[in-house]
Amino acid sequence: MAGKLTTHVLDISRGTPAAGMKVSLFREGKLIRTAVTNRDGRIDGPMAAGEEFGEGSWRLEFSVGDYFGMSDLGAGGFLDVVPVAFKVDGSGRDYHVPLLVSPWSYSTYRGS
């Protein structure tokens, strides 16, 4: 049984999906994939899946500084890159890691 990793980003300063945000995925410190969120704030397809997505230490890095720098809020936000480090237990379950973000704060959780 093989799981997958998905994510999405919501811009809570506007109450909209965060379209156009770069997201990078690392496993044990090695870059696995970089993608950009679509108009729904999601990555088209999983960030990792199947045999590639196994037990270990993982990190998603969200380029929020670049995203907010391109917006009508302009530069001057507090956050640059938001790292979300987590462990995968090897059970084969799916992991969904959403990010709720503004230029000054963020929240995340393990979704379903």
Which CATH topology does 4-108 take?
Immunoglobulin-like (2.60.40)
- Label each residue of 46-80 as H, E or C: CCEEHHHCCCEEEEEEECHHHHHHCCCCCCCCCCC
CB 5 within 8 A of CB 48: yes
Over residues 21-72, the pLDDT tens digits come to: 999 999 999 999 999 999 999 999 999 999 899 999 999 999 999 999 876 6
State the burial class of residue 62 (Cβ atoms within 10 Å of its Cβ: 0-12, 13-18, 19+): buried
Give pTM, 2 decimals: 0.93
* Mean model confidence pLDDT for the chain: 92
CB 82 within 8 A of CB 64: yes
pLDDT for res 77: 72
Q: Where are the domains of the chain?
A: 4-108
